[in-house]
Structures are given as structure tokens and as C-alpha cells.
Amino acid sequence: MKNIEKAKYCHTDIDKDKSFFFDHVHIVWNEQISFHQSNDWELSYVITGSGTRVIGDNMETFSKGEIILLPPNLAHGWYFDENVHYKHGKIENITIIFPDSFLDKCANTFPELQTSVKRLKEISKGMSLKGKLLPLIQRLMHSMISQNNMEQLTTLLQIISHISSDTEMQIVGFRERQSRKADKLQEVHRFMLTHYQEKITLDDVAKYVGMNSSSFCSFFKREKGMSFFTALNEYRIKCSCIMLCETAMTISEISAAVGFNDIPYFNRTFKKMMRVSPKEYRLDSI
């Protein structure tokens, strides 16, 4: 079971002989750091594993291969699916963390980087790398695993230069809006992420966010443009798509794993959303 709390502030200790933090890990799927934020920039590459990420006030599913750039003070957390991993239940990822002062030093030291740094510092939202840039940055980040400190620094400067000039990145998260409505939506996200595999009633979620059922229905429809159960089913189907592509689980097992206790209903809902059956979706992904 997953739990999202209020974002905690995290400070990264960077070695005195380095200007940034590089971390390549193989960890059990549920050992990833919880919902947090910091004053630093973060570049995160998911090599294996999939699940749900929460960035600011946005919650989406993710799968292996994605790279996310996060500016300072943007709350975030990755919640990996226990059914999608490589050997021994572990996931693998690379994280690069660097302070804003690192960018300032780069711009002050190297005139060639001034434009790149200026463009990068204009980013205030969580960004997902797309298009031709994604495989390039994947290769560069992976190459850093075997590099020494100086080589890693050179590679990071290349990465910054490439990212700052890209126009295909996709927004995946905003800073949380400081309002009661935003807080309520965050609570709904927490509830959905924690309980989507279970049977959920309207009273359950309404009680969780401190509202009665009627008020909650009106609130959610007004803010999201759909009913809570439509949003819940969309999220469940997105999770099932990842499992169909990345696991050997049967369709009935996947149906149960994402909260559908009725397989025919799962199949109908899946086909309505994806325009193909679960079986066809799996075959198309091979």
C-alpha cells in the first residue's frame, strides 16, 4: 500500500570535492524516497520499473525509460508498482542533483554556457524529455555510471546544454497552488494512489477529504470536469496498460491488481478507453 504525506523538505549532501550529486541505484521497489522537495535541481532517469509519479499538483503513471527535470522547490515523489521490476524485486534509476548556485558558477565561468543557463533557469515546471532528446540524454546519463568526477562534470554540462535548447519537452507538474481547493485535490490524489487496488465507495473518499458525498461529487466534477469514478477508472486502466506491456501477469490477474473485481467490466472499460481489448493492446505492444 502506498501513502503520500505532505511534502517533506530534503537536503542533499554534496561531497566537498564535487559540485553536484550523482546517484545510480538498484533498490527494492518500495524503498524510493517518499514525497519531498528541495532547493536543488533534479534530473531523474527511470531505467527499470513503473508506477505513479506525483509532481506538484499532478499525478500520472510512468514507465521505464522516462527522464524528468525538476526545478527547485517542486514537490515530487515516485511510487513504484510492486508487480513491475527486474530481478529480485528491484528497480534501477539514476538521479543527478545540483544546486542553483552550480548553474550560476557555470554561467560566470564559461561564457559559452550563459545562454543555456539562462534558458534552463526559466523552467519553473516539471518537464518530461521527449523526442530525439530522450535517447540522447539516456545515453549520456548512463555513461556517467562508469566515469570519474571530471568526466561526469563534462557530461553534465553537455546534458544542460542539450536540455536548455530543446523545444519538445512536456510539462508534467506545477508547483502546488496554495489554496484550499488545491489541498483537497492533493488529498484525493493521495486517497486514489493509496486505495485504487481496493473497492472504493463514494462515502470512503468523501470522508477522507472531510466532505459529504454530495458536496464532494460537485467539487470534483467542477475541478476536474469528470466524476470521481471516471477519473478512478482512467487511472486504473493506465496502470493496467503498464502491466500488460511490462509483466507476464494474466489479464485476470491484472484486472484484480488494479481494482477491478469483475473481469467483463474491466474488459469493457478498457476497450471503451483504449479502443482495443486488453489482449489486443498487449499484442500490439510486443
- Convert the pLDDT of each residue in 51-92 to its tens digit: 889 888 788 899 999 999 999 999 888 888 877 766 667 889
| CATH number for the domain running over 180-285 | 1.10.10.60
**Distance of alpha carbon 252 from alpha carbon 163, whole angstroms:** 42
- Convert the pLDDT of each residue in 100-135 to its tens digit: 999 999 999 999 999 999 999 999 999 999 999 999
Q: What is the DSSP letter of 86?
A: B
Q: Give the residue extent of every domain in the chain.
A: 8-173, 180-285
- 121 phi and psi angles, rounded to 5 deg: -75, -10
pTM: 0.76
CB atoms within 10 A of CB 137: 20
State the CATH class of domain 8-173: mainly beta
